[in-house]
Structure 1
């Protein structure tokens, strides 16, 4: 008689005997009652990151949210496409500074990375690894790049000024326009996106009003900067000034 049959037929049928011979019992039942066993991974978690853009001195909060139907005893955070050790957290939450993210990715700022997570379920005999979360982008900034400023042909009464934002910083939310060397900005504008995906800001101004302001400042120049919603907030350096040449309407600067 086999071990499994012996366990089934013994008069001293106890939990200890079942536990000590569980492998033989599993083999016996599978032979007698063949079934299909599907190993289904646990439902994937949702990764939340806030804020998505930080400075080196800032910090980011990451939460690997496990479905209520699952019981996780450990969550693992990892970087997509980077050979780096994962962060393991039983709480499924982690806070990292910008400098820690840079060291994790073994890169210098600016850094654009994608983070993912998964969890291990808690069971009596085995740990089941969940599917991976969708990746979430996180950016670490240092010094922002300088924008470009251009001015359209001012044929009629309007002038259009464009503040071009470097492609790397797609999280920029707004721009500010300056006249002359004034430290206080003159106008603000939200960002727009070109078909190429590049971000820019557009300022539409009345030519005479703008030139009159420049005359009062004894200047012919305009410049711009842009703001990135990071933690803490980041403002780029001002662009190189654009200088109006020739006759500026009927005003003389």
Structure 2
């Protein structure tokens, strides 16, 4: 019985890997070196699973099946994070052409319903799907930084990035940092290179969150960063009674 379950899990994961690899191949072929259009399409689509998770969790909450505020908080913060990635790409002209907007928006609508169904059937596989996508995003931005780093250092950071990463209300940005133990990353945003570094590190944070949420007891043991932070503040200092 155990071996059958392992085989089933292996088969499903291979299928998910094939689907993601096919999608990545298509995007790479269509967009080639049109980097900002490619990033715009990827960011439009990449935030959709968080909408799907939130929709299903709100449905469960409404029906009284299950309530956990921490997952809702973190998934909303992740969607907010991806929104700002999208706004940054738009500020760089990634959404200039109608065809790119049409493709991204229509794929996003279809993708939303696919992930809703998958999340209702198996949250673990839905999180695994997103882990692969966010991991691809991390490597995509990492490769872009290696190729265009010096050029990016000469360009100013868009205001939307400055407001999100440095000068605005940082609560939502901190809520995506689930693997830091309540020690939040507050990066510099001096130029476009810094912005892409921050986006890349955001994608890494999403990967770690998706990995954590695949643990068998994740629905009971997972807490948002600020929940962890407030719990740490409440702990007594060594030597105090």
Q: TM-score, normalised by structure 2?
A: 0.21
More strand per residue: 1
More helix per residue: 2
Q: TM-score, normalised by structure 1?
A: 0.20
